[in-house]
Structure 1
Amino acid sequence: MHLRKQVSYRKAITKSGLQHLAPPPPAPGALCGESERQIRSTVDWSESATYGEHIWFETNVSGDFCYVGEQYCVAKMLQKSVSRRKCAACKIVVHTPCIEQLEKINFRCKPSFRESGSRNVREPTFVRHHWVHRRRQDGKCRHCGKGFQQKFTFHSKEIVAISCSWCKQAYHSKVSCFMLQQIEEPCSLGVHAAVVIPPTWILRARRPQNTLKASKKKKRASFKRKSSKKGPEEGRWRPFIIRPTPSPLMKPLLVFVNPKSGGNQGAKIIQSFLWYLNPRQVFDLSQGGPKEALEMYRRVHNLRILACGGDGTVGWILSTLDQLRLKPPPPVAILPLGTGNDLARTLNWGGGYTDEPVSKILSHVEEGNVVQLDRWDLRAEPNPEAGPEERDEGATDRLPLDVFNNYFSLGFDAHVTLEFHESREANPEKFNSRFRNKMFYAGTAFSDFLMGSSKDLAKHIRVVCDGMDLTPKIQDLKPQCIVFLNIPRYCAGTMPWGHPGEHHDFEPQRHDDGYLEVIGFTMTSLAALQVGGHGERLTQCREVVLTTAKAIPVQVDGEPCKLAASRIRIALRNQATMVQKAKRRSAAPLHSDQQPVPEQLRIQVSSVSMHDYEALHYDKERLKEASVPLGTVVVPGDSDLELCRAHIERLQQEPDGAGAKSPTCQKLSPKWCFLDATTASRFYRIDRAQEHLNYVTEIAQDEIYILDPELRGASARPDLPTPTSPLPTSPCSPTPRSLQGDAAPPSGEELMEAARRNDFCKLQELHRAGGDLTYRDERSRTLLHHAVSTGSKEVVRYLLDHAPPEILDAVEENGETCLHQAAALGQRTICHYIVEAGASLMKTDQQGDTPRQRAEKALDTELAAYLENRQHYQMIQREDQETTV
């Protein structure tokens, strides 16, 4: 009977398409020219879009079997290595030549739209699951609650799980867990269903084909009459139309990603959004801007927008919303990928994206509070009173933007930004590193300070705020920079107006009160701004008339120009609707949802080094083991992380810590940050600008972890000897031979034999007796080569701590370093030790392989990813060092 069930189950799977569970077939003719269709990495919005088309990105994932299986795998037939691609929307991996074979196994991606001719568009529809076979699966089976047995071998053909790429539910691939009725049941769209735009809302329209000429003219005339009542773009035919089914609980989301922001962060994060959402609600701004998408989705009720980029990207989207005049305007949330991100900081989205899971970001957007943001008009016209002698050939009569959200400034800061902008335009290849950019900014600011180009600013301007002339006050102050500020943040997070409570003569600063803050800066106050100072508070006003008597550098939200003598009028334009990241509603209990929050928490603090964090991000338990205890703090039960930070810094100032168990005297650097250890499948960093939004009890259980980029890592652990610390006394270490008279030092062969036999005690004894740790055998192999081949972490650690640095990159006769060996053997911890000690990741063996490529050949994808990350980091460091020299 059991066998009969299994056969029936497999037949049903094959029949339904779960061999590979495919969505319903596309409309007739949709697959014409399938074999010639290009491999797409973006969503196709044209008439020829294919139903269930995959979105492919190149990948170095080599630890997963090609999804088409051995029967159809081209790479298997050719018996050679070929490139691989991964679908961002359903996460299958195939060889590039095998993509066309997916049609033979009838497997398509999750459908992102429906055909308007497939059924009555007024008929209520639902989304079906998109089931995918998985050879690797995290989490637990939804039916039995047990974990999935992972198959790590490269050629493992066994399917361990069946999961839905919409709702992410996963089941064991067997009859007892995955029932047949689940194949066709409706899909809930998962935990983010409130923000996902269902594919049933998006219809592919068929182009009307009119055969009668009179009918064409009649319809065209009717179409024009209707179009005249619509928006400027609404009457144009589009291949896709949106037919929403509103629900009060839904907050449909459009995601706009600027792939150029944040050092290519945008290009990487867009793939995560394609996985969690409908691909047709995620837009790459480099493919045409936000206007078309906003126009298409303008009828969607309760729409929200997520702008992934810098403050300039946010301004672009807000200006487009102004043009389209959407009623009501959708609120805009921010994922900060730029450099300054002052607006993102103001709205609690932080100063930059680190590694917070996209799933958490979607939850924050859904739960965020809707607030208003003042936007200000800028109108500039030539100053008729300026004489011809004040004209500057390089000046312009037009401002770069006619509206600002953050600030408008003139003087010293605008001059430095303009110098940088012009130099980058002339030589873009010299500005491909953040380090170089910062060095240029610093150098330009210093030279401008020496030249004093802005010291006479007050002599050439007149400022009238709400009818009151501030010019005499400005001339007394002699500022070198004046800022008209709309939000509290400026210049990458500084507070130029001062912190709340510091300005009793003025109203509290707000971004929605219809007032601008006017601030003057001398060189002294500009320098103090970076260490918590502020400028000279001049006034708060609703309207500004600024007159300049000569060409002066200005900048509008970071966009600079040299403006000719002008009269500039600043007035409130409108208010934009924004999403502000909200603090959690309550402090979750530390241990259980049923327990009340205690009055006080006594919690252990442990630090993690950046080396350990990057090496062990895939393994929470090992990362906890690699942490270094700092001590114990006692905080109120409802403490947020800002308050907890103060207690931790106080702990560092105490001689022994508050009940400290800290075995290391190493002090924390100013750059440390909190790690969330509980709310995701891995640790992730919490931006310092968001600490006031998180409770201690939300990110920790019994122990709170912090990341310190300047911590020494594994070498800081008390159980490991360091080069600068005396060796611990060991029961296996007798009195060194060097202390037993004039005995000859041990030979290199003795040391080599101890390393081969993994005899740590003997090796330590021989070294203390004067043994040479740089000895090589007849094949040029070092002691470190032999220690790696035996897998002895203890011996490797000892050699790294005591042998000269040149042993790290020493090569044996076949060109292999010890890191090549460790990577080929998949020794992750040893690789981490060797990389941390400073070994080169760019060296190649006789086959031209780097350590990363050796790890790839060994099919250890996680180790290869770590080595690739560190190799990239080394290249950046080397480039920055060369630049500094």
Structure 2
Amino acid sequence: MLQQIEEPCSLGVHAAVVIPPTWILRARRPQNTLKASKKKKRASFKRKSSKKGPEESRWRPFIIRPTPSPLMKPLLVFVNPKSGGNQGAKIIQSFLWYLNPRQVFDLSQGGPKEALEMYRKVHNLRILACGGDGTVGWILSTLDQLRLKPPPPVAILPLGTGNDLARTLNWGGGYTDEPVSKILSHVEEGNVVQLDRWDLHAEPNPEAGPEDRDEGATDRLPLDVFNNYFSLGFDAHVTLEFHESREANPEKFNSRFRNKMFYAGTAFSDFLMGSSKDLAKHIRVVCDGTDLTPKIQDLKPQCVVFLNIPRYCAGTMPWGHPGEHHDFEPQRHDDGYLEVIGFTMTSLAALQVGGHGERLTQCREVVLTTSKAIPVQVDGEPCKLAASRIRITLRNQATMVQKAKRRSAAPLHSDQQPVPEQLRIQVSRVSMHDYEALHYDKEQLKEASVPLGTVVVPGDSDLELCRAHIERLQQEPDGAGATSPTCQKLSPKWCFLDATTASRFYRIDRAQEHLNYVTEIAQDEIYILDPELLGASARPDLPTPTSPLPTSPCSPTPRSLQGDAAPPEGEELIEAAKRNDFCKLQELHRAGGDLMHRDEQSRTLLHHAVSTGSKDVVRYLLDHAPPEILDAVEENGETCLHQAAALGQRTICHYIVEAGASLMKTDQQGDTPRQRAEKAQDTELAAYLENRQHYQMIQREDQETAV
């Protein structure tokens, strides 16, 4: 559109965080001086290039020349592609779409230092760290090295496993499917807070004798600064065993379930062996000049934690909840104090169900002396530290972005401007099957939802309060739960769905429920996602909602079997599937045809339907054939999902995956369906299959863990 070429670009709804193209200038590559002759240049080419090697490696094809504006909060995005089961590799594409690609950086390509140096003069700069707590610590340490004044505040998109720092700053325990546009808005609107960071200085203990030395121990800590915690004893020993085993045999630690089982086995064996039961005899702890050693020896802990933030071990609260502190001040991440906590085996076990450890003290400085080699860990990085004297002091305070609690100007529940005193609102729940299939189509997903009942909540209530009202629904004998269309109870893993603030539904992390109001995520109805609820297709007692799945091209004509009539031959069924004759296949099945029939190459009807690309026949077979047909293999070891992936049939792949087909099965060449899609160069289908494979593995791990 030539008439628009000269029009200025508004940079879209996220203009405040986007780096304008006018800030980016092309940089010329450094060249040799013109005074030297060509002959001299050639003669000294190798010598000069070797001297300028580091300079050449630091050269970038562009430089940043900012124009400061008080309305702008330019954003620098760092993505760790390996975090969270390779979630980072997928989400980086979304950031490249919403932002200027020159402000999005892959941390696997050299780290954050060069990017921070380029953007050090940008006013009001903010940083978004996409990764785990280790990624955040890496960026904060680099900011310390560069000494930027003022240091840019750092926000977090949690992609790791523990994400304790992200939970503390309200960013949640992990990324699910929140739109990138909303994440950018949260970063822009977030509050700037301070985070204490602590120095660790370790030196050998001169009083330790030769008999206390351990050949496998080291004199150096893995990190000399921590943001979350420093601990020694039982938890560090389990983490160290895991890290050493994974380094020795990385191929055995390729799933979260195996990792969990290894942790559990190591913890149990360490408990039986009692390797940490004598911890109190070999340590001396002095906090702010007060010797806590007698108190520790009376407690006999198997683990001691020096905690900076309220969260620990994937979301637990070892110091306890704010109302339980009694003789101590409430815990904060910016007060310049460490919390010292001791754990026995009993309190460690109770930690996972809401318990806490033994509160020892709050202090500004710690001197820890060990008389033998003891396992320690610094923000999850373990080692076996030789007998040492460790001094912990406050290093500095990092500037962070805390996710702010949302509040819309006008409630979306009704046309009234003021927030009503009470809201009477319908609650409907959605199955995971329907959510995966329809969450981009709001209207169809609403039709597929199942009414649960009605709740009455205060007009300004957040989701945390609303959760309590919803969970009481099915406990009331005369409530909506008794007349609910489904007799299934709510599962413990249900979560809220935001139905209003984006173009599609998306899940709200449970750790962020206190940040969202009811009037912001719903208009006249609250939708919740229940992963254990049966999908609409699996509930014959409910009306089937309108669906994007193909409908029958022919009207059903029931055919009753005659008493002596023989069921149809299997070859007739095979021929109907090959010809994409849906009506004939349906008629043969009603006449007694076997939908599990195979031909001479062991191919099922579903294999033939996939080969011809018949969506109607595929859908009919998935609804009426036994579940064994999903993972049935032909002579070359291919399942129907292998075939669909190789042919790039995305819709059919979706049908088969949602029906419950295994994504981990391999053919004779050792390929999974995802790898077949990659060989067919269908990257979008491969990404979808990889995402579903990851989700399927998590589901299986949860089921096996429950068993």
CA distance in 1, matches of 2:42, 2:403: 48
Cα-to-partner distance string for 1:219-243 (whole Å, 9 max, x where unaligned):
9999999999999999998654322
**Residues matched between the structures, number:** 707
1:513–1:791 CA distance, 2 compared to 1 (3 A): same
Structure 1 position 180 matched with structure 2 position 2:
yes
CA distance in 1, matches of 2:676, 2:212: 66
1:807 CA drift (Å): 4.0
1:350–1:757 CA distance, 2 compared to 1 (3 A): same
CA distance in 2, matches of 1:461, 1:846: 57
CA distance in 2, matches of 1:723, 1:591: 25
Is the 8 Å Cα contact of residues 414 and 524 (structure 2) preserved in structure 1?
A: no
Q: What do you get for the CA RMSD once the two structures are aligned?
A: 6.3
Residue in structure 2 matched with residue 852 of structure 1 by the alignment: 674
TM-score, structure 1 normalization: 0.68
Q: What SS does structure 1 have at the residue aligned with 2:367?
A: strand
Larger Rg: 1
CA distance in 2, matches of 1:223, 1:579: 49
1:863–1:715 CA distance, 2 compared to 1 (3 A): farther
Is the 8 Å Cα contact of residues 630 and 660 (structure 1) preserved in structure 2?
A: no
1:653 CA drift (Å): 2.4
Is the 8 Å Cα contact of residues 414 and 523 (structure 2) preserved in structure 1?
A: no
Is the 8 Å Cα contact of residues 465 and 543 (structure 1) preserved in structure 2?
A: yes
Cα-to-partner distance string for 1:410-429 (whole Å, 9 max, x where unaligned):
10001111111111122222
Which is bigger in relative contact order (C-alpha 8 A, separation at least 6)?
2
Is the 8 Å Cα contact of residues 336 and 352 (structure 1) preserved in structure 2?
A: yes
Is the 8 Å Cα contact of residues 578 and 608 (structure 2) preserved in structure 1?
A: yes
Is the 8 Å Cα contact of residues 715 and 721 (structure 1) preserved in structure 2?
A: no
1:608 CA drift (Å): 2.3
1:267 CA drift (Å): 1.4
| Matches for 1:227-266 after TM superposition, within 5 Å | 240-266=62-88
Structure 1 position 529 matched with structure 2 position 351:
yes
CA distance in 1, matches of 2:509, 2:652: 31
Cα-to-partner distance string for 1:468-490 (whole Å, 9 max, x where unaligned):
11111111110000001000000
Residue in structure 1 matched with residue 160 of structure 2 by the alignment: 338
CA distance in 1, matches of 2:106, 2:549: 57
CA distance in 2, matches of 1:217, 1:847: 57
Q: What SS does structure 2 have at the residue aligned with 1:213?
A: coil
1:761–1:576 CA distance, 2 compared to 1 (3 A): same
Residue in structure 2 matched with residue 494 of structure 1 by the alignment: 316
CA distance in 2, matches of 1:302, 1:228: 39
Structure 1 position 322 matched with structure 2 position 144:
yes
1:549–1:616 CA distance, 2 compared to 1 (3 A): same
1:230–1:679 CA distance, 2 compared to 1 (3 A): farther
1:268 CA drift (Å): 1.5
1:581–1:222 CA distance, 2 compared to 1 (3 A): farther
1:737–1:718 CA distance, 2 compared to 1 (3 A): closer
Cα-to-partner distance string for 1:838-883 (whole Å, 9 max, x where unaligned):
4456789999999889999999998886556546666888999999
Is the 8 Å Cα contact of residues 736 and 766 (structure 1) preserved in structure 2?
A: no
Is the 8 Å Cα contact of residues 608 and 708 (structure 1) preserved in structure 2?
A: yes
1:276–1:775 CA distance, 2 compared to 1 (3 A): closer
Structure 1 position 580 matched with structure 2 position 402:
yes
CA distance in 2, matches of 1:701, 1:505: 45
Is the 8 Å Cα contact of residues 234 and 295 (structure 1) preserved in structure 2?
A: no
Greater alpha carbon shift after TM alignment, 312-321 vs 477-486: 312-321
Q: Which runs of 5+ in 2 are unaligned?
A: none
Cα-to-partner distance string for 1:745-800 (whole Å, 9 max, x where unaligned):
89989999999999999999999998766567999997878999999999988865
1:433 CA drift (Å): 1.6
Is the 8 Å Cα contact of residues 366 and 393 (structure 2) preserved in structure 1?
A: yes
Is the 8 Å Cα contact of residues 516 and 542 (structure 1) preserved in structure 2?
A: yes
Greater alpha carbon shift after TM alignment, 357-366 vs 824-833: 824-833
CA distance in 2, matches of 1:311, 1:827: 39
1:464–1:290 CA distance, 2 compared to 1 (3 A): same
Residue in structure 2 matched with residue 64 of structure 1 by the alignment: none
Q: What SS does structure 1 have at the residue aligned with 2:54?
A: coil
| Matches for 1:861-876 after TM superposition, within 5 Å | 869-870=691-692
Is the 8 Å Cα contact of residues 758 and 787 (structure 1) preserved in structure 2?
A: yes
CA distance in 2, matches of 1:192, 1:552: 50
1:655–1:780 CA distance, 2 compared to 1 (3 A): farther
1:221–1:768 CA distance, 2 compared to 1 (3 A): closer
1:182 CA drift (Å): 2.1
CA distance in 1, matches of 2:565, 2:598: 23
1:319 CA drift (Å): 1.1
Cα-to-partner distance string for 1:710-766 (whole Å, 9 max, x where unaligned):
223234434469999999999999999999999998998999999999999999999
Greater alpha carbon shift after TM alignment, 785-794 vs 555-564: 785-794
Cα-to-partner distance string for 1:14-45 (whole Å, 9 max, x where unaligned):
xxxxxxxxxxxxxxxxxxxxxxxxxxxxxxxx
Is the 8 Å Cα contact of residues 481 and 522 (structure 1) preserved in structure 2?
A: yes
1:515 CA drift (Å): 0.7
1:226–1:646 CA distance, 2 compared to 1 (3 A): farther
Q: What SS does structure 2 have at the residue aligned with 1:670?
A: coil
Is the 8 Å Cα contact of residues 629 and 661 (structure 1) preserved in structure 2?
A: no
1:745–1:348 CA distance, 2 compared to 1 (3 A): same
1:659 CA drift (Å): 7.0
1:457 CA drift (Å): 0.5
Is the 8 Å Cα contact of residues 474 and 482 (structure 2) preserved in structure 1?
A: no
Structure 1 position 353 matched with structure 2 position 175:
yes
Q: What SS does structure 1 have at the residue aligned with 2:53?
A: coil
Residue in structure 1 matched with residue 532 of structure 2 by the alignment: 710
Is the 8 Å Cα contact of residues 309 and 336 (structure 1) preserved in structure 2?
A: yes
Residue in structure 1 matched with residue 188 of structure 2 by the alignment: 366
Greater alpha carbon shift after TM alignment, 247-256 vs 815-824: 815-824
CA distance in 1, matches of 2:197, 2:239: 22
1:302–1:712 CA distance, 2 compared to 1 (3 A): same
1:787–1:639 CA distance, 2 compared to 1 (3 A): farther
Q: What SS does structure 2 have at the residue aligned with 1:454?
A: coil
1:233–1:632 CA distance, 2 compared to 1 (3 A): farther
Cα-to-partner distance string for 1:300-330 (whole Å, 9 max, x where unaligned):
1111111111111111111111111111111
More helix by share: 2
Greater alpha carbon shift after TM alignment, 456-465 vs 782-791: 782-791
Is the 8 Å Cα contact of residues 413 and 522 (structure 2) preserved in structure 1?
A: no
Cα-to-partner distance string for 1:632-660 (whole Å, 9 max, x where unaligned):
22222212111111112111323464376
1:285 CA drift (Å): 1.3
1:207–1:634 CA distance, 2 compared to 1 (3 A): same
CA distance in 2, matches of 1:678, 1:723: 21
Greater alpha carbon shift after TM alignment, 463-472 vs 201-210: 201-210
1:217–1:631 CA distance, 2 compared to 1 (3 A): farther
Q: Which runs of 5+ in 1 are unaligned?
A: 1-178
1:427–1:722 CA distance, 2 compared to 1 (3 A): farther
Is the 8 Å Cα contact of residues 78 and 105 (structure 2) preserved in structure 1?
A: yes
Is the 8 Å Cα contact of residues 547 and 568 (structure 1) preserved in structure 2?
A: yes
CA distance in 2, matches of 1:830, 1:228: 57
TM-score, structure 2 normalization: 0.83
CA distance in 1, matches of 2:46, 2:125: 29
Residue in structure 2 matched with residue 630 of structure 1 by the alignment: 452
1:353 CA drift (Å): 1.1
Is the 8 Å Cα contact of residues 721 and 801 (structure 1) preserved in structure 2?
A: no
Is the 8 Å Cα contact of residues 550 and 616 (structure 2) preserved in structure 1?
A: no
